[in-house]
Chain A
Amino acid sequence: MRHPESEQLSAFAEGRLQETRLREVVERHLEDCPDCRSEVAWIRELRTEALSLKSQEAPPPEGLWARVEAGIHASGRRTSQGPAGDTAPATMDLSQARRGRRRGGGGWTRYTLQAAAVLALAAISSFAALTLLRTGSGGVDDPNGSAGAPALVAEREAPGGSVRFASAMEELESAYAPAILELERALERDRENLAPATIQVLEENLRIIDEALREALTALAADPGSSMATGLVGGMYETKLQVLQQAVRLAQGV
């Protein structure tokens, strides 16, 4: 059985498949293919959840980041060890995630993606963000404070420190990517419902967020131990998600 392309399934799930004949082909295929039916259901569900994600509703439980971080590291090990077909890359787009899931391989599953997105949102927002990825080199909570070399130097000199943070940031991006991609797609489809001035404001501010994200990532690359930069990177993803959510709601009039 030949499966429809991921893009076709996505368009079908979102009601964007305009061509009647193609729509009917997909409909017929879905009747016989539980995998693709599940795929369509997932796309719809993910989009709904992306619209309803609200980080403040889920304060980060104790030890949450440790679990996320463990997952990130585990994922990183899989990425570096396994063959391409067995593992997901550190950064992927939604279609890659879907393909991984359809293969039933060891890539990001729907649950993992959603959980990671929610966990990252919860973990990176607010105060928690400023204490994340602490390197143990004497932060506010470190009672021993000044032990060892100066914090900034120690962090920069620590073996693999930059790699660890780069990896964490990539994973963070991939955690947000599905929701952001879905929202961008929905916005693109419904953007004509928005006034040009509104589109201009939204696009300009999304560009500002992306620039700020780059600025924060640059800071983080220079200073991997900066919990502030880490927090702001997470904050920028969260802000981007919120702005996109707002834009899609406005465009859809919901």
Chain B
Amino acid sequence: MKTNGMEGARGDRACGARPRMVRGRMDRGRGGRACVTRAWRARTWGARTRGTLVGLLAGMAITAAPGAAQETIEETRPLRAGGSLEIRTMDHSILLIPWDRNEVRVRGEYDPRLERLEIRGSGDSGESLTVEIHHEGGSRGRESRGDRTLEVQVPAELRLDGGSVSGSIEGAGLRGTVEVASVSGSIRLTGLDVERAHITSVSGSLQVEGRGEEVRARTVSGEVRVNVEAPVIAAQSVSGPVTVEGRGVHRRVEMGAVSGGIVFQGALGPRGELKAESHSGNVELTFNRNVDARFRLSTFSGSIRADLEGVRDRREERGRFAPGETLTFTTGDGLGRVEARSFSGRLRVGHGG
């Protein structure tokens, strides 16, 4: 076990190399104090991510507001590959970076006057580890600095349970199982290769990329974007748009929104099921290859349009006493199932890709 205590990045002025958001676009010029904004959240991940992010954290350490009692965190604890890691923060964002060591290294800053850092583990076995930053009791009326990031290097394969109140959560290249939640922060996980990923937020947006057996993403008012190769996908938002761009073939896809629109692009496997429903948003389903399924498209006051080849058993029904339309048809062997429904939105089904 290695503990580096106060050693850290304080004094490193590499912040200018870090990108930042300027009116919604990435500015890779000098960052100055603005470097401690949430700029990194929007940047594109690539091979240079790790090095750049080390610089990012280093830069954050020296841009503390004058007089702020920020203390540098640099702690390293054992965690075996496949072990359990639990991370909880209040307003710290969490940046997860896999590495090839059976250790977790936590770097960042906290204010010991207002916050308490707890790192608990199962000892040298590295079976499990918990990292938490709490507000200290009696911090009423005192504000900790916002926009801080906890950089956490982790074994690539792990069972992750992470959460933040207002911080965002971002990671690339994780394996194992991932369960993360944020109240208002966005969540962005790329390069996943997981058995299961469950991602939730209230007002934050969700973005998931990679592959897995089962991927679920749900937010209340944010946007959901899922771009994965996974047999089972579920994506939901109440008021935000939901987009699934699937790779490979899917066994079961469920997408739901109340006022947000739904877009699916991908392929359905043999006997696969797809269900997409929005109350007032549009539903657009684009199949990358021929789909063998029984279709059922329903709307109350919206419209339906289906442009698929090889359609048979087409049947269109309208309500007797109220508006409403249901279109059913079969393509191929009809063993799969596709149901799309919108109360007042537009339904579109077609080929593409």
Which A residues form the contact surface with B (CB < 8 A)?
Answer: 56, 126-127, 130, 138-141, 145-146, 149-153, 156-157, 192-198, 201-202, 204-205, 208-209, 212, 215-216, 219, 222-223, 226-229, 231-232, 235-236, 239, 242-243, 246-247, 250, 253
Question: Can you add 16 more A-B contacts, CB < 8 Å, to A196-B143, A239-B218?
Answer: A130-B254, A150-B317, A193-B139, A195-B90, A195-B143, A201-B165, A201-B166, A201-B183, A201-B184, A212-B220, A219-B279, A222-B279, A228-B277, A232-B258, A236-B220, A246-B163
| Per-residue interface assignment for chain B, residues 306 to 341, with 1 indicating a CB less than 8 Å from any chain A CB and 0 otherwise | 000000000101111111111010000000011101
Say yes or no for B299: interface residue by CB 8 A criterion.
yes
B37 at the interface (CB under 8 A from A): no
Interface size class of B (residues with CB under 8 A): 35 or more
Contact status A195-B135, CB under 8 Å:
yes
List residues of chain B with CB within 8 A of the CB of A235.
218, 236
Contacting residues, chain B, for A202 (C-beta < 8 A): 165, 183
A208 touches B165 (CB 8 A): no
Q: CA of A90 to CA of B138 in the docked complex: distance in angstroms?
A: 41
On whether the beta carbons of A215 and B259 are closer than 8 Å, the reply is yes
A-side binding surface: helix, strand, loop or mixed?
helix
B72 in contact (CB, < 8 A)? no
- For residue B99, CB closer than 8 A to chain A, the reply is no
Bound complex: CA of A235 vs CA of B221, how far in Å?
Answer: 13
Shortest C-beta distance, B329 to chain A (Å), equals: 9
B140 at interface, CB cutoff 8 A: yes
Q: Does B142 contact A (CB under 8 A)?
A: yes
Q: CA of A88 to CA of B181 in the docked complex: distance in angstroms?
A: 36
- Please judge, given known A-B contacts A140-B339, A201-B183, A208-B221, whether A150 and B298 are in contact too, CB under 8 Å: yes
In the complex, what's the smallest C-beta–C-beta distance from A46 to chain B, in angstroms? 24
Q: A151-B341, A156-B322, A197-B143 are in contact. Are A223 and B296 (CB under 8 A)?
A: no
Asked whether, in the complex, the Cβ of B234 is within 8 Å of the Cβ of A127, the reply is: yes
Q: How far is the CB of A55 from chain B (nearest CB, A)?
A: 11
